[in-house]
Amino acid sequence: MTTPPEVAITPEVLESELSLMTAVTRLDFLSRRDNVAIDAPTDNADTDDDWLSLKDVGTSLDVEEALELLALGEVVARKAHDSRHLGIRAALRGGADWVQVARALGVSPRDAWEDHTTWLDGQEQARRGGDADALDAAAVTAAREWAGSRPA
């Protein structure tokens, strides 16, 4: 009897299967399970040092779950990044300026604009590459109009 081939746990696989909310929920669940092991009392005299207090502490997750936890973190970061730009588009459409958008992001207006327009470039490339989830040409054009020119 042969064992089934191992299914690779990658952000790409999980990203296509999970919504942001589902990925966050699963990430939270696995993190809490793993934290049970980390929060367990230890006999280490150096508990005031975070790194030393984690020394020799096991995990309640098996290898597959630990890899899933790692991949889910990447999926959530990617999906949140895309949501960030959808939020920027909504704010600009609603009348916000780059100073307000930048304040909400904790960056400079110029950095916010440059990051957003780079994301729009990526959306154009992804659409040309056949990504059906990328913004279409009309949406990118509208987003560029709302973005305006680079702030000083």
Based on the domain organization, do 70 and 101 belong to the same domain? no
Q: Whose CA is closest to 119, among 86, 75, 91?
A: 86
Global pTM reads: 0.65
Higher pLDDT: 125 or 38? It is 125
67 domain residue, yes or no: yes
Helices (H), ranges, the chain: 11-17, 20-38, 50-54, 63-93, 98-105, 109-128, 137-147
Which of the four pLDDT bands, split at 50, 70 and 90, describes residue 8?
Answer: confident
Based on the domain organization, do 2 and 75 belong to the same domain? yes
pLDDT at 51: 46
Would the pLDDT of 5 be above 90?
A: no
pLDDT in tens, 21-74: 999 999 999 998 888 755 555 555 545 555 445 444 556 888 899 999 999 999
Question: C-alpha angle with apex 128: 127 to 131, nearest 5 degrees?
Answer: 40
Looking at the chain, the whole-number percentage of residues with pLDDT higher than 70 is 80
Domain containing 65 equals: 1-81
pLDDT in tens, 130-141: 998 899 999 999
pLDDT at 81: 83
91 domain residue, yes or no: no
Report whether 20 contacts 80 (CB < 8 A).
yes
Based on the domain organization, do 69 and 9 belong to the same domain? yes
Looking at the chain, the whole-number percentage of residues with pLDDT higher than 90 is 59
Contacts (Cβ under 8 Å, ≥6 apart) of 72: 14, 23, 26, 27, 30
pLDDT at 82: 81
**Single residue among 55, 81, 107 that ends a domain in this structure:** 81
Alpha carbons 108 and 13: distance in angstroms, whole number: 34
Average pLDDT of the chain?
A: 84
Query: In total, how many domains does the chain have?
Result: 2
Based on the domain organization, do 16 and 66 belong to the same domain? yes
Based on the domain organization, do 4 and 48 belong to the same domain? yes
Based on the domain organization, do 62 and 111 belong to the same domain? no
pLDDT in tens, 79-117: 888 889 989 999 999 999 999 999 999 999 999 999 999
89 domain residue, yes or no: no
90 domain residue, yes or no: no
Contacts (Cβ under 8 Å, ≥6 apart) of 101: 88, 91, 92, 109, 112
What is the number of alpha carbons within 13 Å of residue 89 lying toward its C-beta? Answer: 17
Based on the domain organization, do 123 and 76 belong to the same domain? no
Based on the domain organization, do 75 and 107 belong to the same domain? no
Based on the domain organization, do 46 and 5 belong to the same domain? yes
6 domain residue, yes or no: yes
What is the number of alpha carbons within 13 Å of residue 142 lying toward its C-beta? Answer: 12
Q: Enter the DSSP assignment of 152.
A: -
